[in-house]
Structure 1
Amino acid sequence: MRIRATVAAVSGALALSAFVVPAAQADDASSSPSYRARAEQALSHINSSGSGRTAFRAVAAPPAPDVSFSNFKIAKAIKVGTSGSVSVAATYTLTHGADIDITSEDFANGPILYKGSSVDEARNMLFGEYPATCTATSATTADCKGVIEIDRSEDWLANSDAGTWSGGGLALTYSTRGEKVQGDLGKTLLQRTSKLTVNASPEPVKKGKTITATGKLSRANWEDGKYHGYTGQSVKLQFRKAGSSTYTTVKTIKTNSTGNLSTTVKASVDGYFRYSFAGTSTTPAVNAAGDYVDVTS
């Protein structure tokens, strides 16, 4: 079975259907639990009451495992497109009671990502299908690494989910169904993948004549699975002289209501034009591939 990220809360009516575990699956989890199934059940206990979201029911839980998470590290930004899957690793230190055997099949733990002001009010969560792997560093500490994979064919993300997400940890004891969730361990950006194009024309062009550079800045729409123009964004037109490896900024313009770009410059020497976007918290930086223009006398 491949690793899969799972969304723990989704918009509107989808929220309940996304996290109802069929009875047969629940029964199977009690006798031969998978980490993903138990993680879903554990995280669905979190009560989310964000605007426009369906709250999870809080239920009484057995005593939590005696563990804590620290030194959480994850990529600063995660780019997510409209298809395929994206894997991201997280590392952290697990501190546990002397009575917990981290090598036991009865115990598992892993990293989580959540969107919201706190883990108790998370409106969306992601985690891996398999638990983290841990290496003991003392009788009560271990270095752990887990993988979260975001699968766009299965995992729901709203466009409003782009931006800052928080890291956390989840620990499970299968036999007692004990669970421990700890949040606010770190930050990352979940970003909608961007695309940028450029076309400089005419080609060739006489020195001193006008070159028109057109292009488009677009980004992934997680809700309809397409790319749409990113409006009102500042983008730099840059030029690299033939034989040079350095681009310099010629001017800065903004995308229009459909994400399109258009501006003019005077032809001087042979070289490459490109558009460059610095990025935002919700959308990563991107450079268009350089478009060569031959300038004649």
Structure 2
Amino acid sequence: PYGYRNKMEFTVAPGPVVGLHQADRYDVVLDIERCLLQSETMNALLDALRGEVRARGLSVYDPATEEGLLRFVALRAAGGTGEAMVNVVASAPAVEALAPVAAGLRARVPATASVVLTVNAKKAAVAVGSEEHLLLGRDHIRETLGGLAFQISAGSFFQTNTAQAERLFALVADACALDGSETVLDLFSGTGAISLLLARRCRRGYGIEVAAAAVADAVRNARANGVENCTFLAGEVRHVLPTLVRDGVRADVVVADPPRAGFHPKALGALGALAPQRLVYVSCNPATLARDLGALVARGYRVEWVQPVDMFPQTPHIEAVARLTRSA
């Protein structure tokens, strides 16, 4: 299928063009009129943003001279609610210059519920920054998944394929095999999607997430859905997990959805000390999954099964869910 992505990041380059980097030339940005992988709402926003930038003559950041304002734009669209977000990444907090752009985007695309300005004044060519300014609407959009409502802010992680995320999370829930008596620990918990979906099936839940904005979203999501048996902790898993172990927290089941780099060795060591009976590993990188599964087997776990899930159609990338149990 096409049109499945609910988030895309584009580079704004001199021209001005708004698009993606050429595969073999990072210094070349191709002007993208329509991306087949994203929703039609996001394509409309992409076209609207390009029009606003050109009509208003806004300056574009040039990496060679380190001058100019606009650097990136991240688009989100919620399939369950239809709400859309535009996150403009610029080199300076030019709120007055960009407020008319935000108004123009909503006029062109009424589904626009949030326009955020993120400031990245550093050389690093990344669509994240040190501060945020709300230009229009709310600082988040709302999404529905698995019968729950979620708030997603500009800096929060959320699965990019909502339809397949439903299938992925159902597989995770089955792998956890909860009977309602367990304590569940959700590592790299993002906005709390897995934690909150499992909260209905367990006694107590904990989520650990490094992004403060995502933790704030998770807390709000728990409150909005009436979930009272989940606690969300901010920090790197490799630091927070050993602290929980020292504090005497015990988990019957651990769910982990790490970034592509997989587990930090210290986090794996703390996980071994925690010694949950069941471990469900969600991975977007088969190489680091294989590496970490080997380390977990060496720590006394047995891999029962691994199930691929195609979260990224039309690409070579694959998600996978692995279920492990502690050997007797």
Larger relative strand fraction: 1
TM-score strictly above 0.5: no
The structure whose RCO (Cα within 8 Å, separation 6+) is larger is 1
TM-score normalised over the length of structure 1 = 0.29
Q: Tell me the TM-score normalised to structure 2 length.
A: 0.27
| Higher helix content, 1 or 2 | 2
Structure whose CA Rg is larger: 1
